[in-house]
Amino acid sequence: MTLLSTRGLSKSFAGLQAVSGVDLDLRQGEVRALIGPNGAGKTTLVGMICGRITPTSGQVMFDGREITRLPAHKRMLMGMAYTFQITSVFTGLSVAENVTLAARRRVPHSGLSDAVTTALRRVGLSEHVEQEAGDLSYGHQRLLEIAMGLVQGPRLLILDEPTQGLTEAEVDRFKALIRELAGETTILLIEHNMSVVMETADRVTVLNFGEVLAEGTPDEVRANAEVQAAYLGGD
Amino acid sequence: MTATGKILLLHGGLLCVLFALQFVLPAYHHGNLARIMVLASYAVGYNILFGYTGLLSLGHALFFGAGMYGMGLSIQHLGFSPAPALLAGLIAGVAVSTIIGLLALRTVGVAFMIVTLMFAQAGYLTVLYFVDWTRGDEGFVIQQAQRILWGIDLSDPSNRYFAALLLFSISLLISLWLVRRPFGKTLVAIRENEERVRMLGYDIQAHKLGAVVISGTIAAVSGAVYGLLFGYVGASFTAVPHSILPLLYVLLGGTGTVLGPFVGTVFMFYLIDLSSGITTAHMLIAGVVLVAVTLFAPQGLVGELRRRLWRWLP
Ligand SMILES: Nc1ncnc2c1ncn2[C@@H]1O[C@H](COP(=O)(O)OP(=O)(O)OP(=O)(O)O)[C@@H](O)[C@H]1O
Ligand SMILES: [Mg+2]
């Protein structure tokens, strides 16, 4: 079953075509990586999917419903969760309060504290529960951002460069987490770290200058000459 | 002691001190403090929108005025007794703040400030325009006989003090309760990062509207009580300076602190009072002190206290 699709999704910013005519289909439960060079339009594309950015043209369908005009908060209530590329946790609140805030719209009151504890354990922040989020290291703030997505128990989890700034051990833990979620949660993962893409994604979409350059399994994409020229060549 | 324990002790302690003060204060300060507590309630309401939600309104005098005139006009023209008149003031506050909220929240940032200012100015002009009803600029007095609430004469200084304390206690406790509730925490989160909160599935507009209505209604009830306790309803209470007042109180006391509005009101009230005893250029002295406070305690007095000593202050 298809959980998310886009048709002809495009966005231009004052003449700059950031995303053009993207068709995407995500199967329920799949892990999809979205890769592409800096400025390829990845953040803009997922921004249109989750309602932060209004498309210039095109459509977004989620769970069999057209949601192109639906306000962002309602999409979240339908089961999307979004984590920001630029870390934006609430620095004045404790780690637990951050996750509680994220959970409150989706988790019944009685299960709130369990859900928070579980999400923090899964990302490995159990020891920092009471700490103020602003005092966390950058990597830990990234993990907190992920926990805030996880705790919502989303059907579609959109992660924008979650592993940026993580240590190698934390990246390994993140890979394991994605593999754990795979199958139940549909994941759209923007990622620059190729080892994460290769080890976690079911399929990969390559974006270049706002257009889909290639799509396939990690191995197919890695073997694609155009992709290598546009993107992987430099790595 | 837990943070909650300390919070209850501090705020409860303040209310007890205020209660006790009425027996020891000389008449002059006794009267001042009654006035301060009503104005501080107004500032508490303002702080919910400005301090906790991060929305700067320049038109809160409209809400204060809605309550004051809702109360005053219903006494003057409908012959209401104080209790239903206060209720009329409250209802006027809810209605006006809901309408203004729905309209003004279509804008953000500077536009929000301008729009609230414009609405308040329109309110002020309305009061002046319907001079037959409101007596315009001159305003009208509420007679002692009209100020007897359940047999209690509100023009009597100690009754007045007690009523002011009651209003202030209620506003303070609402504010304290609110910021510890999920709704209040969400408001703070909206102030910190609105986009992030939206992407967690919260309806930002609905939360902001709630904040405007709560804030406006507390301001309106303060206006109604002010008119009733001091026996006068006048257009100056709906004019621009009266919208700036709670902003100054809150900035001085500490934005987004429960106690800040009270501390700011006391400070500002006595600053003007004392400096006008020294020189006729009292606003000059007041201005210099205000600049000094903003320079050396940019987070306000209570904000500074929280930053330096008591991190647990709500
Ligand atoms: N709000 C905006 N206004 C104008 N231009 C924008 C805006 N947001 C993005 N752009 C431009 O659109 C293009 C795509 O940006 P986007 O952030 O989607 O890229 P990205 O693939 O996420 O890049 P990165 O890997 O650096 O995060 C870039 O050229 C960017 O400068
Ligand atoms: Mg990006």
Taking the CB of residue A65, how many other CB atoms lie within 10 A of it? 9
Q: C-alpha angle B4/B10/B11, rounded to 5°?
A: 90
Q: What share of chain A is helix, strand, coil (3-state, %, to 5)?
A: 40, 30, 30
- Does residue B286 carry a pLDDT above 80? no
> Which residues 6+ apart lie within 8 Å of B212 measured at CB?
B49, B55, B57, B97, B98, B100, B101, B104, B105
Q: Do the beta carbons of residue A156 and residue A132 sit within 8 Å?
A: no
Q: What is the arithmetic mean of pLDDT over B131-136?
A: 82
| Region for A154 from its dihedrals, namely left if φ exceeds 0, alpha if ψ lies in -120 to 50, beta otherwise | beta
Enumerate residues with CB within 5 Å of ligand 2 (an ion): A 42-43, 85
Q: Nearest to residue A43, comparing CAs of A141, A184, A190?
A: A190
CB contact under 8 A, B182 and A104: yes
Q: Nearest to residue A5, comparing CAs of A60, A64, A66, A70?
A: A60
Rounded Cα distance, B288 and B275, in Å = 11
Rounded Cα distance, B20 and A173, in Å = 60
Picking from B2, B52, B198, B199 by the largest number of A CB atoms within 10 A of its own CB, the best residue to mutate is B199
> What SS3 class is residue B255?
coil
Rounded Cα distance, B131 and A209, in Å = 66
Joined together, the tokens standing for residue A31 give 């892990």
Average pLDDT of chain B, as a whole number: 89
Angle between helices B82-104 and B109-129 (to 10 degrees): 140
Torsion, CA B40, CA B42, CA B44, CA B46, rounded to 10 = -140
How far, in Å, is the centroid of ligand 2 from the Cα of A152? 22
What's the confidence (pLDDT) of residue B304? 81
ipTM of the complex model: 0.86
- Does residue B104 carry a pLDDT above 90? yes
What's the confidence (pLDDT) of residue B2? 78
Q: What is the pLDDT of residues B185-202, one digit of tens each?
A: 999 999 989 999 999 999
- Does residue B259 carry a pLDDT above 80? yes
> Domain residues of chain B, as ranges?
3-240
In chain B, the N- to C-terminal Cα span, in Å, equals 16
Q: What is the pLDDT of residues B67-81, one digit of tens each?
A: 999 999 999 888 888
Q: What is the arithmetic mean of pLDDT over B234-243?
A: 90
Q: What is the arithmetic mean of pLDDT over B113-140?
A: 88
How far, in Å, is the centroid of ligand 1 from the Cα of A46? 11
Q: How many residues does chain A have?
A: 235
- Does residue B93 carry a pLDDT above 90? yes
Q: What is the arithmetic mean of pLDDT over B176-192?
A: 92
What's the confidence (pLDDT) of residue A231? 65
Q: Which helix (H) or strand (E) holds A19?
A: strand A16-27
What's the confidence (pLDDT) of residue B232? 92
Rounded Cα distance, A1 and A95, in Å = 36
What's the confidence (pLDDT) of residue A27? 93
- Does residue B1 carry a pLDDT above 90? no
User: Strands A186-190 and A31-35: what pairing?
Assistant: parallel
CB contact under 8 A, A73 and B182: no
Question: Which atom of ligand 1 is nearest to A47's Cα?
Answer: 18
- Does residue B245 carry a pLDDT above 60? yes
What's the confidence (pLDDT) of residue A85? 81
Rounded Cα distance, A214 and A33, in Å = 12
- Does residue B119 carry a pLDDT above 70? yes
Task: Collect all residues of chain A within an 8 Å Cβ-Cβ radius of residue B185.
Answer: 93, 97, 101
> What SS3 class is residue A135?
helix
CB-side exposure of A131: number of CA atoms within 13 Å? 14
Q: Nearest to residue A43, comparing CAs of A157, A158, A151?
A: A158
Task: Collect all residues of chain A within an 8 Å Cβ-Cβ radius of residue B196.
Answer: 84, 88, 90
CB contact under 8 A, B202 and A152: no
CA distance B182 to chain A (A): 8
CB contact under 8 A, A88 and B197: no
Check residue A202 and report its DSSP letter.
S
Which residues line ligand 1 at a C-beta cut-off of 6 Å? A 13, 16, 18, 36, 38-44, 85
Burial of B233 (0-12, 13-18, 19+ CB in 10 A): buried
Q: Where does the pLDDT of residue B152 fall: very low under 50, low under 70, confident under 90, or very high at 90 and above?
A: confident
Q: Do the beta carbons of residue A125 and residue A95 sit within 8 Å?
A: yes
Q: Nearest to residue B62, comparing CAs of B49, B76, B51?
A: B49
Rounded Cα distance, B128 and B236, in Å = 10
Residue of the nearest CA to atom 16 in ligand 1? A41
Q: Is the pTM higher than 0.80?
A: yes
B66-80, B96-110, B134-148, B251-265: the lowest-pLDDT one: B134-148
Phi, psi of A77, rounded to the nearest 5 degrees:
-70, -20
In angstroms, what is the C-alpha Rg of chain B? 19
pLDDT tens for each residue of chain A, 235 residues long? 889 999 999 999 988 999 999 999 999 999 999 998 888 999 999 999 999 999 999 999 999 899 999 999 999 999 999 998 887 889 888 999 999 999 998 888 888 899 999 999 988 889 998 888 889 888 889 889 989 999 999 999 999 998 888 889 889 988 988 998 888 899 999 998 888 999 999 999 999 899 998 889 988 888 877 777 776 554 4
Between B271 and B173, residue with greater pLDDT: B173
> Which residues 6+ apart lie within 8 Å of B93 measured at CB?
B63, B66, B67, B70, B216, B217, B219, B220, B221, B223, B224
Joined together, the tokens standing for residue B264 give 């700011």
What's the confidence (pLDDT) of residue A235? 44
Rounded Cα distance, A204 and A215, in Å = 6
